């Protein structure tokens, strides 16, 4: 239990301090915006279900959001990758909506909420 608590405290510190400075100097906003703009509001799958009813894939739908917002620190070779690897669905599930300190776009937030709800 102590390890999980420490992990969440560390996540809060990194999210509010370290990532903010790095992302402010990076050019990831346009990448994330292009990912978000490519998401339809309520697409239908061939079976007639909506996107919320369809399974959200971490590798193709969620991970690209974090790649655009949280590199290089939270991906392989990054400073905090060993403690908080954002290329793993388990990390995203553990941090839950605390990740929203970095994700401001409501479409991206909703997609992440839907991903968290399905698991």
CB atoms within 10 A of CB 23: 18
Residue 7 has pLDDT above 70, yes or no: no
Structural domain for 61, as ranges: 2-39+50-118
Whether omega before 45 lies within 30 degrees of 0, making that bond cis, reads no
**87 within domain boundaries:** yes
**Higher confidence at residue 111 or residue 99?**
111
Residues contacting residue 1 through CB under 8 Å, at least 6 positions apart: none
**Residue 45 placed within a domain:** no
The model's confidence at residue 104, banded by pLDDT at 50, 70 and 90, is very high
Q: What is the pLDDT of residue 28?
A: 47
How many structural domains compose the chain?
A: 1
The Cα–Cα gap between 86 and 107 comes to 19
Residue 77 lies in a domain: yes
In a domain, 8, yes or no: yes
66 within a domain of the structure (yes/no): yes
Cα–Cα distance between 94 and 10 in angstroms, integer? 13
The verdict on residue 72 lying in a domain is yes
């Amino acid at each position: 239990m102590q390890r999980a608590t420490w992990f969440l405290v560390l996540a809060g510190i990194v999210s509010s301090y370290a990532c903010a400075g790095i992302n402010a100097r990076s050019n990831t906003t346009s990448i994330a915006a292009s990912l978000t703009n490519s998401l339809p509001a309520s697409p239908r799958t061939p079976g007639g279900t909506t996107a919320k009813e369809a399974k959200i894939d971490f590798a193709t739908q969620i991970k690209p959001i974090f790649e655009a917002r949280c590199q290089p620190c939270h991906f392989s070779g990054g400073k905090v990758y060993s403690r908080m690897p954002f290329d793993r669905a388990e990390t995203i599930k553990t941090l839950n909506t605390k990740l929203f300190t970095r994700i401001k776009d409501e479409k991206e937030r909703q997609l992440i909420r839907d991903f968290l709800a399905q698991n």
